[in-house]
Amino acid sequence: MTTSDDATDLTSLVADLHDHLEATAELPVETRASQWLGETQAVCEDALGPDVPETVIEKRVEQVRMLLSNVETTGSDAADDHVVAARELVDEIESRL
């Protein structure tokens, strides 16, 4: 895989991460979880886009991990599934950085 392909793949993973976080905003979740997830989504937005430096992605994804650590349950099975998927994507992104 070329460096360009690596960057595209990383960009795609970050977009998928954002999609999972964004999906929780449309679900009925507990207030405290909603606050953490909203913050997480905003931080992740800073890492979106093809021209975002890898150092910014790394920092933002690390922040996403930290913020998600505050979410044990959301009160919604669907939102919990998105959180699990987001955590898996964080792991995948960090393994590529």
- 14: which residues sit within 8 A by CB, 6+ positions away? 44, 47, 48, 52, 57, 61, 93
- What residues make up the domain containing 17? 3-96
Structure tokens at 43: 């931080």
Compute the C-alpha angle 60/57/89, nearest 5°: 80
pLDDT in tens, 20-69: 999 999 999 999 999 999 999 999 999 998 899 999 999 999 999 999 99
Number of structural domains (the chain) is 1
pLDDT in tens, 62-96: 999 999 999 999 999 999 999 999 999 999 999 99
Separation of alpha carbons 48 and 71, rounded Å: 22
Q: Is the dihedral of CA 17, 92, 56, 30 positive or negative?
A: positive
Report residue 60: phi and psi, to 5°.
Answer: -65, -40
Amino acid at 55: T
